[in-house]
Structure 1
Amino acid sequence: MDIVTLCFGNKDVENIIAVASDELCASGNLCGKMFTVRCVRGTNAVPNPCHGGSITVKIVDHCLGCNGTLDLSKESAAIANPVARMIIIDYHQ
């Protein structure tokens, strides 16, 4: 994926990535850390927001002002319906 990130600059990064919110980054530098993420439920009326299973994402940046814990890349849609836009997740490092 050809993007510029805080953690890796303009180096190519994998497609399944995430950026961490202020809440998560408060505990220290998360650059390059891997998290396993699973969709728990949706936050709106979209039917069947979760596809099941889990994915592993690499933290590549800090998302200033994000209200959630992780902002997932589009390629992370394996766990959720992209129409749902925002989902409740369970995650661990």
Structure 2
Amino acid sequence: MSFLTSFFYKTLATASACYGNTPQGVMIAAASDPLWNNGAVCGKTFSVKCIGATNPFPHPCIDRKTITVKIVDHCPGCGGNLDLSKEAFALIANPVAGIIKIDYQEL
């Protein structure tokens, strides 16, 4: 497993860097520059688990649950982050937290 921080974004009916206008569901994520690797990460799946808070929001994690997300987009300038869809984020953490620490592993 590797450690990152995670944000969430609203999934909209907009094009993704990997799949254009073809919807990929809601269990999706955008890869930051270090993970992007010129798009080589497109379509890969990752297990993701919330491991703690990055800000004063207490106990954001939901029962250490692990989810699986598919990389569908690029998040340039996001640093070492995996940007989860709001739906995926909400399954592992309280969205009010905004940013969380995660463990992730490519499947």
What's the CA shift for 1:18? 0.3
Identity of aligned residues (%): 54
2:21 aligned to which of 6, 10, 14: 10
What's the CA shift for 1:28? 6.1
2:93 aligned to which of 62, 80, 83: 80
Q: Which has the higher contact order (CA 8 A, sep 6+)?
A: 2
1:68 is matched with 80
Instruction: Name whichever structure is richer in strand by fraction.
Output: 2
What's the CA shift for 1:13? 1.2
The total of aligned residue pairs comes to 93
Q: TM-score, normalised by structure 2?
A: 0.80
Contact 2:18 2:39 in 1 (8 A): no
What's the CA shift for 1:37? 0.1
Please list every run of at least 4 consecutive aligned residues from structure 1 whose deviation after the TM superposition is greater than 4 angstroms. none
| 1:42 to 2:53 alignment | yes
3-state SS in 1 of match to 2:91:
helix
1:33 aligned to which of 44, 47, 58: 44
Could you tell me which runs of 5 or more consecutive residues in structure 2 were left unpaired when the two chains were aligned. 1-10
